[in-house]
């Protein structure tokens, strides 16, 4: 089974390249080999590789910058996945695609399920929702995994930003009124590899078990368990970071730290469907400790 993996240098793509080993022939592509902003490049890469499965963690993830680059964000997050799905349909291939908690407006008081209506309040969320809808409309066997607050030990993310600022400042002022779940990129990659194995990869199959893939196709929330705020996330990072100097982490309201893109007040995801269908997921605190260690 040939698996095309996009975004090999990104947080999730980097981990997926490790997690997917042994489940098929892994063909990894970076931006130079398949530029999602160039739809012809996407088509050409897929036609050259001829995969049985496309795994697409690549995305435009600059949430604030997207407000001024809406066309580019939509092309990468919405139109490129549509092209991938179109090419997958021609090949009889399946697709795993990663989306975001920011497809919700944050007005719900509890955790969001896959059945809850979407209503993104920023350009990034709208562009990711467009990608979801295009894949769903294509009719191919697919899994769309919505995740949240992704972090890791490489790239740009909240964990690394807090650690850097903690070395420079005596006080960190962090938003306390936005709720979500920090999710280690390795949690995402390992859970995805489990799903791919469950659906038949690594079992000397040529191609896909189409019936099983279609049975499990659909939208799933894939994030760590539990919930916190950005302030709680930062406090936990500082508490578990083995340094002598620890700054004070002061809670502030969203309006005290204005950004170009609005964020949902609550974007906690219910992962019950994923857990009941595939495998368990770790608590965010335990995963964060493992990551930092």
Q: Are 147 and 100 in contact (CB under 8 A)?
A: yes
Predicted structure pTM score: 0.95
Report d(CA 166, CA 140) in Å as an integer. Answer: 46
Residue 207 has pLDDT above 80, yes or no: no
Predicted pLDDT of residue 204 = 47
**What does the pLDDT read at residue 242?**
63
Active site residue 124: yes
Confidence of residue 201 (pLDDT cuts 50, 70, 90): low
What pLDDT band is residue 243 in, cutting at 50, 70 and 90? low
Given a cut of 90, whether residue 152 has pLDDT beyond it is yes
Mean pLDDT (whole number) for 43-66 = 97
Catalytic residue among 60, 124, 151, 220: 124
In this predicted structure, the answer to whether residue 80 has a pLDDT above a threshold of 50 is yes
- pLDDT(137) > 60: yes
CA distances to 7, 76, 140 from 91, in Å: 21, 22, 10
**What per-residue confidence (pLDDT) applies to 211?**
84
> DSSP labels for 94-160?
EEEEEEEGGGS-S--SSPBPTTSPP---SHHHHHHHHHHHHHHHH-S-EEEEEE-SEE-SSSS-HHH
Q: How far apart (Å, rounded) are the C-alpha atoms in residues 59 and 77?
A: 6
Q: Which CATH superfamily is domain 2-157+183-225+268-282 in?
A: NAD(P)-binding Rossmann-like Domain (3.40.50.720)
Domain boundaries of the chain, sorted by first residue: 2-157+183-225+268-282
pLDDT (0 to 100) of residue 41: 95
272 forms bridges with which residues in the sheet?
none
Mean pLDDT of 152-173: 93
* Confidence at residue 284, expressed as pLDDT on a 0 to 100 scale: 98
pLDDT at 203 over 80: no
Q: Is the pLDDT of residue 28 over 90?
A: yes
Under the banding of pLDDT at 50, 70 and 90, the label for residue 96 is: very high
- Looking at every residue in the chain, the average pLDDT score rounds to 94
pLDDT exceeding 70 applies to what percent of the chain? 97
**Helical spans, DSSP H, in the chain:** 11-19, 39-49, 70-74, 80-91, 123-138, 158-168, 185-198, 210-216, 230-240, 272-277, 284-292
Per-residue model confidence (pLDDT) at position 128: 98
Beta bridge pairs of residue 99 = 146
d(CA 111, CA 277): 18
């Amino acid at each position: 089974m040939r698996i095309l993996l996009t975004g090999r240098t990104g947080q999730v793509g980097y981990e997926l390249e490790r997690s997917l080993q042994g489940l098929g022939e892994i063909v990894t592509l970076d931006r130079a080999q398949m530029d999602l902003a160039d739809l012809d490049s996407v088509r050409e890469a897929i036609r050259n590789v001829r995969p049985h499965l496309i795994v697409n963690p690549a995305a435009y993830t600059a949430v604030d910058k997207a407000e001024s680059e809406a066309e580019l964000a939509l092309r990468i997050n919405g139109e490129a996945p549509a092209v991938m799905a179109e090419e997958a349909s021609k090949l009889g291939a399946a697709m795993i695609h990663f989306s975001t908690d920011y497809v919700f407006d944050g007005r719900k008081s509890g955790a969001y399920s896959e059945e809850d209506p979407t209503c993104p309040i920023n350009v990034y969320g709208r562009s990711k929702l467009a990608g979801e809808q295009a894949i769903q409309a294509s009719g191919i066997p697919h899994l769309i995994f919505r995740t949240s607050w992704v972090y890791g030990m490489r790239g740009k993310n909240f964990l690394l930003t807090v650690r850097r600022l903690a070395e420079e400042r005596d006080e960190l002022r962090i938003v306390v009124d936005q709720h979500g779940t920090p999710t280690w990129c390795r949690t995402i990659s390992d859970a995805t590899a489990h799903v791919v194995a469950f659906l038949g990869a690594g079992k000397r199959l040529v191609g896909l078990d189409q019936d099983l893939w279609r049975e499990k196709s659909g939208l799933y929330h894939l994030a760590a368990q539990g919930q916190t705020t950005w302030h709680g996330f930062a406090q936990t990072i500082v508490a578990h970071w083995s340094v002598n100097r620890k700054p004070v982490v002061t809670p502030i309201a969203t309006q005290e730290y204005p950004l170009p893109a609005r964020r949902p007040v609550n974007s906690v995801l219910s992962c019950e469907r994923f857990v009941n269908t595939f495998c368990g997921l770790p608590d965010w605190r335990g995963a964060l400790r493992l990551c930092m260690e």
